[in-house]
Amino acid sequence: MAWEYILFNKPYGVLSQFTDPQQTSHPTLKEFIPLPDIYPVGRLDRDSEGLLLLTSNGRLQNRLCDPQFAHPRTYWAQVEHIPDAEALQHLRGGVVIRGYRTRPAQVSLLSCPPRLPPRVPPIRYRKHIPTAWVEMVLREGRNRQVRRMTAAVGFPTLRLVRVAIAHLALDDLQPGQWRHLSPAEIHQLASLTRLPL
């Protein structure tokens, strides 16, 4: 059986699932991806954007969603104000959110805003409050983790984009677009997960 492996750039406001059992009227993956029997590996909350990996391979999905399999996920977060060195170091060492200390993370302040398509709708700008972009590489995927981490150190997230999952990168994939993984990407994924793909 040939498994499907695709990357999708999830737009803001889209649910990371194919159905909406609560009937919230938010768009779902079904409106963008016309493939049967394919499921997201992990999730992005409705307010977040960026890279989703989807597959029909249940073993791969289980492996990548297992908390013990700590593969890197890279996020760009636009935050209120400009984090100082102390806040960045706090994020790197782990912060306590909901009684849990996050694992150490790679965190850096981006020197300039990343080149991203405009968000629809745009974030709310405040004339007298500067913003900054932070890159965070996490090896765990708890619910709304980046947002809770930046808020815990006093810099709330305004916009959040996942730009990479391990070696898989968003690159030029536009919001709402998807593509199949290349043979080289599948080979790297097999090496990473130690699964025959």
Q: Angle between the 58-65 and 183-193 helix axes, to the nearest 10 degrees?
A: 60
**Higher local confidence (pLDDT), 168 or 71:** 168
Contacts of 196 (CB under 8 A, 6+ apart): 190
Evaluate whether 120 touches 174 at the Cβ level (below 8 Å).
no
> Model confidence over 44-89: pLDDT tens digits?
999 999 999 999 999 998 888 887 788 899 999 999 999 999 999 9
In this prediction, residue 124 carries a pLDDT of 86
Q: What is the mean pLDDT of the chain?
A: 93
Q: Which of 20, 37, 45, 171 is catalytic?
A: 45
Beta-sheet pairing, 39-40 with 5-10: unpaired
In 3-state terms, what secondary structure has residue 184?
A: helix
In this prediction, residue 1 carries a pLDDT of 62
With a cut of 90, say whether residue 194 has pLDDT above it: no
Is 45 marked active-site?
Answer: yes
Structure tokens at 57: 């391979």
> Model confidence over 92-105: pLDDT tens digits?
999 999 889 999 99
**Higher local confidence (pLDDT), 39 or 197:** 39
**Higher local confidence (pLDDT), 70 or 131:** 131
With a cut of 90, say whether residue 107 has pLDDT above it: yes
Structure tokens at 102: 């996050």
What is the distance between the terminal CA atoms of the chain, rounded to a whole angstrom?
A: 10
**What does the alpha-carbon distance between residue 117 and residue 172 come to, in Å, rounded to a whole number?**
10
Contacts of 44 (CB under 8 A, 6+ apart): 10, 16, 50, 52, 162
Q: Which domains does the chain have, with CATH numbers?
A: 5-67+167-193 (3.30.70.580), 73-165 (3.30.70.1560)
